[in-house]
Amino acid sequence: MRPTIVILGLILASVALRSTASDPVGRPDGLPVVLETRFRDSILPFVQKNCVACHSGPKKKGDLDLSVFQSTDAVVKHLAQWEVMLEQLESGAMPPLKAKEQPKAEERRQVIDWIKAVRREEATRNAGDPGPLPPRRLSNAEYDRTIRDLTGVDIRPAQEFPVDPSNGAGFDNSAESLALSPALLTKYLDAAQKVADHVLFATEGLTFAPYPVISDTERDKYCVRQILDFYKRQRTDYADYFQAAWRFRHREALGDSGITLAALAKREGVSSKYLAAIWDLLSGPQEEFGPTAAIQAMWRDLPGTKDTATTVRAKCEAMRDFVVELRGQLVPEVKNLTAPRMSAGSQHMVLWKNDQMAANHTRHAPTGPFKLKLVKLAAISAAAQALTVPDEDDAKKTYEATFSRFCGVFPDAFYVTERDRPYLSFAKERKQSGRLLNAGFHSMTGYYRDDRPLYDLILSGDEQRELDRLWLDFDAISGAPMRQYTAYIWYERAETGFLRGVKAFEAVRAEDKDSTSERKMKQFEDILLGQARATGASETVLKAIMDHFKNMRTALRRTENARRAAEPKHLASLRSFAERAYRRPLSKAESEGLVAFYRQLREKDGLGHEDAVRETIVSVLLSPHFLFRVEPAAPGSGRQPLNDFALASRLSYFLWASMPDAELLARAAAGDLHRPEVLLAQTRRMLKDDRVGGLATEFAGNWFDIRRFEEHNAVDRERFPAFTDSLRRAMFEEPIRFIVDMARNDGSALDILYGQHTFVNGVLAKHYGMPEPKGGPDHWVKVDDARPFGRGGILPMAAFLTKNAPGLRTSPVKRGYWVVRKVLGEKIPAPPAEVPELPSDEAKLGKSLREALELHRADKACAGCHARFDGVGLALESYGPIGERRTVDLGGRPVDARAAFPGGGEGSGLSGLQTYLRERRQDDFLNNLCRQLATYGLGRSLLPSDDSLIEEMRIKLASGNNRFSALVETIVTSPQFLNKRGDVNLSKDTTR
Amino acid sequence: MNSNSKGPISRRTFLRGAGVAMALPWLESIPVWGKPTVVGGVPAAFPKRFATLFMACGINPDHWWARGAGAEMELSRVLEPMAPYRAKLNVIDGLFNKNATGVGIHPGQTGNILSGASLQRGAELRGGVSMDQVLARHVGQESVQPCMVLGCEQPVTGYHETNFSMAYSSYISWQSATSPVPMEVYPSLAFDSLFDNRGQQRHRSVLDRVRGEAASLAGQVSAADRARLDEYLSSVRDLERRVARARSEQQTAEARGQNRDRPVATMPRPDNGLPEDIRDHMRLMCDIVALGFQTDKTRVATLLLCRDISGLFYPFLNVGLAHHLASHNDRSAAYERVSRYYVSQLAYLTSRLEAMPEGDGTVLDHSCLLFLSNMFSGSRHDSSKLPLLLVGGLTGALQTGRVIDYRERGDDNRKLCSLYLSIMDRMDVRLPRFGDADARLADL
């Protein structure tokens, strides 16, 4: 029995650590006299006779010294140690079998009863004690989620951290276990720098990018994406507008009488400004000929409301196709600008052409109207008729003029997102795609904004301002104009040779920090203009050069000004960042200190603005106010109410494993969060939020011991090729999604055991033999009745079945132990060290596992424990080593899932097990669920004084249909959760 | 202030410069900075160093050759600056980088020169980790700076006509498949990175601040709650001590050097801003590499003398065109002068290392310098073979004074990455494969 003693020693050692901090809330009178007397008369003699020989002195077994317990005061003070004694006495593990003499059963009973009585006494006396809750460091999981909610991007720096130890109950969110070391602090420093590398210096304040944005290319990528996303959000499909206009025409028939055009646009999600323009054109005065007449003819031709929506849509799309085809044939051609010896790829030349092309979006080529070839238009239609070129010259002129209005309403493009190099031949450039928002330079940085039609025709005033801001942010964040200008210098130097031999040009260098100063720009402009004149460039070219310099100057100065103007806003961002990082308002001194630190970095350490901001962010993320959940001490004795900000953090770390959101902080700021109705309303809101995934993952993941399942590598993938990374990921997600669903929809806690439903994605459905839902691995569906596939509830989920199987065989022992120990909460001593190992491969086992286990149980030393769980595991034998359903084992023997359950009763398979649990163990399960959730929610091991909370949870659960919310609500409104132990040594004025 | 101004030296600059002038050579500095030099009576092996010097757009192909061996080696006009060191020189002909051929000119020929990776076109950068960074991760961990990545010309972005990003033309050193290593072009900052660790300075400020916060916080929680904060405080102090130790060790080393009146590595801190003259710029960068090697502050350095499609001018060579345009007439006398000028930079760095005694030899003897270009001929943009020189014997691991020609050995036996494997072997970094090679270079 040695191994048991060693394990016990470990347990006691941790208990001893804990008990030093668990001095209860004040100590009025001692125990009732009857307990005091019994301690003297029988307990003390019992301990001295049976225990102290081993558990005392320098060689005390299990690091447990029982000789110190000479009074009941000592017992009460270290009650946790006595609770371990209680377990040992009850299970018969102590005194050990090899002891010379065993106590009489009656004596043992007496001690057991006495400890229980003392515990009850203590539990009642201190009921609701908040317990010891020192500042808690964020766990790794909390750290990652907090960074995610703080920055808005999921950086997950904690992946590099050492694994957090868990407390006795298996959770890693309690102060008892969350220590801090210099090694971890170094990791925090690295992580903080990593996060700071994501900060973007936008004109309105700091934001964070999903990847590090230190380098120009990464900043460009981010800003380009922002602008493209904006473009993509806009509705620019002509068919949508035609359809909306049609709806407006038939508003009465469609039951929308009285709706305005603007209201309809809003409902349809299209631009009201542009819909008005389209409506005016379509329903305005009928034109005689030309493109407007053509589209009006098609408009008149649209079906009424009797036709199906599909028909209407198809006709609207035909109108669109007509416009697109027509517009494609009207685009004016712009010839390259040329000058002797000058490269057509020089910035001023390329941009001149870009400008012409951009201006042409709403113009037509003069000859275009006379050589149309519209293949999509039915030749005999009225629309085709309208586009027949008239014979007479005067009529021709009128005909051509009609194109102007049309092209003004229907641009050939609303915006351009990709540009090849327009000065090269189209054929050569066609394949060069992916140059987003590019100016089309050769080998030079340069972006070009070409969205005038969108801006003028579609965007509202607010949207115009947003788009302007995005472009300004692009320049300010990435410094693109500066780079474009220095690239200009480089290009003229290294690529064109246009300035060959111009001595003065040698002094114009891209490398110079002041290369964008007015003086140096003028110098370059003069050199370029001088050489252009000398080589006979046209006035257009000279003007293109001057325009380019003018535009570059504007862009550069605008960018510089925007950057300067943004600096105070960045400081304001820093303050609000710190405030949210600390999860409470900053004091005046803190706020000033933060800015002072930034100034010190700039002035004393010589850092630039960006470095200083990043470094200030590092200091915030390394601050104890961020890394620890510090609850200000409450002066006085007994329990003292927590302030609302600390309460907000308790709530959010319980339900989301992350920081409070804006609403929660607002309630805390309003000072009413502690009011029960506010607290419960917030709790309900939070349970419905997606972030409740934090609770599911951290609470259920740790409770069920699968938190690290994504690293589970015990499966032989050659024998089980189905076990891919994506299946493993899906297996892990299944129980998490199950719990999230239970929390969000307030399901019954009993569904964990008996639920008929589960959640699958494609790969998991395949594994379970269910119809596979379409969509990628992120597409999950609820299967309402999974029983026909042998699933439903937590027990038959592949993650648990796989985790508790050693690879090439199942393990009824491990599975049974998992159900009994983890799910039902039964305490079972660890096995002795010399337990014989079963072969690891079921195929190589001479007999079935069932038979092997029967032999094992024949050994009396093993039977005591194994009888408590083997049967439970055997009922799950129809699931193979990776949780797949099976009828024969790997050795080809038929699977038998019949089982005799602990404490009596027989059954077979999952349903047999569920019946057994329902009839005999449901109480165990609910009790355990309450204890586990309370431990997690309070962030500490439970104390005897928490017994009343558990009782109340049970009562609420029973009266509330076993709804999950009953559990959560009982915890968050408990005195434990709302209070903190007071500290008599503190006076009011030393605390905030 | 104009970054190029040469006004009075600020106090801060002066202090920095003064501190550095006392940095000690490796042998002296080791006992206080790192491992003991002598272990059980056996001197610790000298550190092995590796530097790459890159020149873009090829050399003058008519004047790039060598014949014979050792002191008798005959050198072409372009290689002539290396004449004093021919016994320590290897001229390697005919190596090539397969993934830098057949992909169009310039960026695709450059961004993978130290990685052998296939490069991705379009907006997303993707190449491979370069061999200098592999070395940095191994041998570089022993020194203050795992690797110095320096350049004498600013990087550019944008797209080349081949639809490769111009980033490939600007960076040869890559820390991951998607990220180039930021290149330092300011000599003053490169210098600081070796001797006045700005990161450490910043850490001190941050640590100082959070220690203050923790201390004031400790006063606001109850005595029972203080234990965890104490843990935090002692962790902060521990980190601070480490930073302080690094500084005091440097000061001790400096003091020791002063007392013994030893020939210490001396170099004043370069001025802020960029040198006006490219000759000064390159020379300063070589000085910094040499100093970094001598004081064992770094063991790996990559110096981009010029960028691909370079815009550098050489008025002092009487060459009217910028580098790239000049390379389009690479058989000209002008480009011969340019090519020789670049080889003379290698010769300069060689001379600096050769002048630094270390044990029975010099720092050069414990180093390997790699000089290469991304093309053999700039007029034809030909990267089917590359001009390549190695200098220094890596403490006897690399035989020198040879001309080795791989041209006729078949493509599988003339891989640039095979050379990298062989060099890394000799730096005690043994990899089964690198880039496109899984075999060492024969006969090196």
Judging contacts by C-beta atoms under 8 Å, the chain B residues touching residue A487 are 156-158
Strands A205-208 and A199-202: antiparallel
Residues B82-98 as b/e (b if ≥16 CB within 10 A, e otherwise) read beebbebbbbbbbbbbb
- Is A502 at the interface with chain B, CB within 8 A? no
- Under DSSP, the state recorded for A721 is T
Which range has the worst mean pLDDT, A162-166, A278-282, A388-392, A490-494?
A: A162-166
- Is 90 exceeded by the pLDDT of residue A294? yes
What is the reported pLDDT for B193? Answer: 78
Residue of B160 and B312 predicted with greater confidence: B312
Phi, psi (rounded to 5 degrees) for A907: -175, 180
Give the nearest chain B residue to A179 (CA atoms): B228
Q: pLDDT, tens digit, for every residue of A342-378?
A: 998 899 999 999 999 999 999 999 888 888 888 777 7
The label of the residue with tokens 């092995």 reads: B48
Interface contact flag, A490 B167, Cβ < 8 Å: no
Of A274, A194, A257, A266, give the one whose Cα is nearest residue A456: A274
Count of A-B CB contacts under 8 Å: 198
- Is 50 exceeded by the pLDDT of residue A26? no
Q: pLDDT, tens digit, for every residue of B103-124?
A: 888 999 999 999 999 998 877 7
Backbone dihedral region of A659: left (phi > 0), alpha (psi from -120 to 50 degrees) or beta? Answer: beta
Q: pLDDT, tens digit, for every residue of B32-69?
A: 333 434 444 445 578 999 999 999 999 999 999 999 99
Most B CBs within 10 A among A222, A443, A597, A599, hence the mutation to make, goes to A443
- Is B185 at the interface with chain A, CB within 8 A? yes
Which of A137, A445, A622 lies nearest to residue B228, judging by beta carbons? A137
* Cβ-based neighbours of A606, under 8 Å, separated by 6 or more: B12
Of A451, A453, A422, A454, give the one whose Cα is nearest residue A435: A422
Over chain B, what is the mean pLDDT? 83
- Is A729 at the interface with chain B, CB within 8 A? no
* Cβ-based neighbours of A313, under 8 Å, separated by 6 or more: A239, A243
- Is 60 exceeded by the pLDDT of residue B97? yes
pLDDT-based confidence at residue B175 (cuts at 50, 70, 90): confident
Interface contact flag, B224 A134, Cβ < 8 Å: yes
Interface of B with A in 54-83 (CB under 8 A): none
Strands A628-629 and A758-760: unpaired
What is the reported pLDDT for B1? Answer: 32
| DSSP helix/strand/coil, A725 | helix
| DSSP helix/strand/coil, B189 | helix
CA of A19: how far to CAs of A74, A123, B437, in Å? 11, 15, 62
- Asked whether A710 and A729 are in contact (CB, 8 A), the reply is yes
Q: pLDDT, tens digit, for every residue of A616-670?
A: 999 999 999 999 998 887 777 788 899 999 999 999 999 999 999 999 999 999 9
pLDDT-based confidence at residue A134 (cuts at 50, 70, 90): confident
Strands B367-373 and B89-93: unpaired
Name the amino acid, one letter, at B23: A
Percentage of chain B modeled with pLDDT above 70: 83
CB atoms within 10 A of CB A522: 12
Whole-angstrom Cα distance, residue A97 to residue A120? 30
Nearest-Cα distance to chain B for A18, in Å, is 12
ipTM for the complex? Answer: 0.78
What is the reported pLDDT for A766? Answer: 95
Whole-angstrom Cα distance, residue A55 to residue A63? 8
Q: Which long-range contacts (CB under 8 A, 24 or more apart) does A658-664 make?
A: A658/A142, A658/A145, A658/A146, A658/A148, A658/A149, A658/A691, A658/A694, A659/A145, A659/A146, A659/A149, A659/A150, A659/A580, A659/A581, A659/A583, A660/A583, A661/A149, A661/A691
* Angle of the A964-972 helix axis to the A644-655 helix axis, nearest 10: 150
- Is 90 exceeded by the pLDDT of residue B289? yes
Judging contacts by C-beta atoms under 8 Å, the chain A residues touching residue B16 are none
Q: What is the mean pLDDT of residues A558-582?
A: 97
Of A861, A831, A867, give the one whose Cα is nearest residue A6: A831
What is the reported pLDDT for B2? Answer: 35
pLDDT-based confidence at residue A886 (cuts at 50, 70, 90): very high
- Is A514 at the interface with chain B, CB within 8 A? yes
- Is A187 at the interface with chain B, CB within 8 A? no
Helix (H) / strand (E) containing B43: strand B42-43
Q: What is the mean pLDDT of residues A775-787?
A: 91
Q: Nearest 5°: CA angle at A123, between A119 and A125?
A: 115
Of A83, A85, A172, give the one whose Cα is nearest residue A136: A172
pLDDT-based confidence at residue A430 (cuts at 50, 70, 90): low
* Diameter of chain A measured on Cα atoms: 128
Of A644, A633, A656, A702, give the one whose Cα is nearest residue A130: A633
Give me the helices (H) in A171-215, please: 182-196
- Is 60 exceeded by the pLDDT of residue B227? yes
What is the reported pLDDT for B246? Answer: 64
Q: Among A85-99, A371-385, A647-661, B302-316, which range has the highest average pLDDT? A: A647-661
The token duo for A495 is: 């690529």
- Is 50 exceeded by the pLDDT of residue B137? yes
Whole-angstrom Cα distance, residue A359 to residue A373? 24
What is the reported pLDDT for A20? Answer: 37
B437 bridge partner residues: B434
pLDDT-based confidence at residue A9 (cuts at 50, 70, 90): very low
Question: Within 13 Å of residue A304, how many CA atoms lie on the same side as its CB?
Answer: 3
Judging contacts by C-beta atoms under 8 Å, the chain B residues touching residue A490 are 156, 311
pLDDT-based confidence at residue A422 (cuts at 50, 70, 90): low
B42 bridge partner residues: B39
Whole-angstrom Cα distance, residue A918 to residue A929? 15
Strands A136-137 and A628-629: antiparallel
Give me the helices (H) in A819-894, please: 849-858, 860-866, 870-874
Residue of A126 and A660 predicted with greater confidence: A660
Which of B156, B223, B229 lies nearest to residue A445, judging by beta carbons? B156
Interface contact flag, B4 A512, Cβ < 8 Å: yes
What is the reported pLDDT for B384? Answer: 94
pLDDT-based confidence at residue A62 (cuts at 50, 70, 90): confident
Judging contacts by C-beta atoms under 8 Å, the chain B residues touching residue A420 are none
- Is 70 exceeded by the pLDDT of residue B20? no
Residue of A327 and A374 predicted with greater confidence: A327
Interface of A with B in 642-671 (CB under 8 A): none
Residue of A658 and A944 predicted with greater confidence: A658
- Is 60 exceeded by the pLDDT of residue A217? yes
Q: pLDDT, tens digit, for every residue of B25-41?
A: 554 433 333 343 444 44
| DSSP helix/strand/coil, A245 | helix
Which range has the worst mean pLDDT, A55-69, A356-370, A900-914?
A: A55-69
Of B272, B265, B270, B262, give the one whose Cα is nearest residue B292: B265
B51 bridge partner residues: B301, B369
Phi, psi (rounded to 5 degrees) for A14: -70, -35
Instruction: Please return the burial class of B301, using the count of CB atoms within 10 Å of its CB with bins 0-12, 13-18 and 19+.
Output: buried
Whole-angstrom Cα distance, residue A188 to residue A202? 26
Nearest-Cα distance to chain B for A427, in Å, is 13
| DSSP helix/strand/coil, A899 | strand
Give the nearest chain A residue to B157 (CA atoms): A445
- Under DSSP, the state recorded for A495 is I
Which of B4, B182, B217 lies nearest to residue A215, judging by beta carbons? B182
Give the nearest chain B residue to A137 (CA atoms): B228
Interface contact flag, A441 B205, Cβ < 8 Å: no
Give the nearest chain A residue to B307 (CA atoms): A494
The token duo for A978 is: 């709302």
Q: What is the mean pLDDT of residues A927-955?
A: 94
Whole-angstrom Cα distance, residue A279 to residue A246? 9
What is the reported pLDDT for A27? Answer: 45
Judging contacts by C-beta atoms under 8 Å, the chain B residues touching residue A501 are 320
Nearest-Cα distance to chain B for A930, in Å, is 27
- Asked whether A223 and A232 are in contact (CB, 8 A), the reply is no
- Is 70 exceeded by the pLDDT of residue B261? no
Q: pLDDT, tens digit, for every residue of A699-709?
A: 999 999 998 89
What is the reported pLDDT for B41? Answer: 42
Q: pLDDT, tens digit, for every residue of A805-863?
A: 887 888 898 999 999 999 999 887 766 656 666 667 777 777 777 887 777 777 766 77
What is the reported pLDDT for A838? Answer: 67
Q: What is the mean pLDDT of residues A866-894?
A: 91
Percentage of chain A modeled with pLDDT above 90: 61
Interface contact flag, B217 A625, Cβ < 8 Å: yes
Whole-angstrom Cα distance, residue A135 to residue A631? 7
* Cβ-based neighbours of B224, under 8 Å, separated by 6 or more: A21, A23, A132, A134, A983
The label of the residue with tokens 């209680």 reads: A86
Phi, psi (rounded to 5 degrees) for B301: -140, 140
Interface contact flag, A217 B157, Cβ < 8 Å: yes
Instruction: Please return the burial class of A723, using the count of CB atoms within 10 Å of its CB with bins 0-12, 13-18 and 19+.
Output: buried
- Is 70 exceeded by the pLDDT of residue A135? yes
- Is 70 exceeded by the pLDDT of residue A426? no
- Is 70 exceeded by the pLDDT of residue A951? yes
Which range has the worst mean pLDDT, A276-290, A726-740, A785-799, B143-157?
A: B143-157
What is the reported pLDDT for B321? Answer: 85
Which range has the worst mean pLDDT, A14-28, A67-81, A416-430, A856-870?
A: A14-28
Most A CBs within 10 A among B109, B126, B152, B154, hence the mutation to make, goes to B154
- Is 60 exceeded by the pLDDT of residue B94? yes
Residue of A834 and B369 predicted with greater confidence: B369
What is the reported pLDDT for A79? Answer: 85
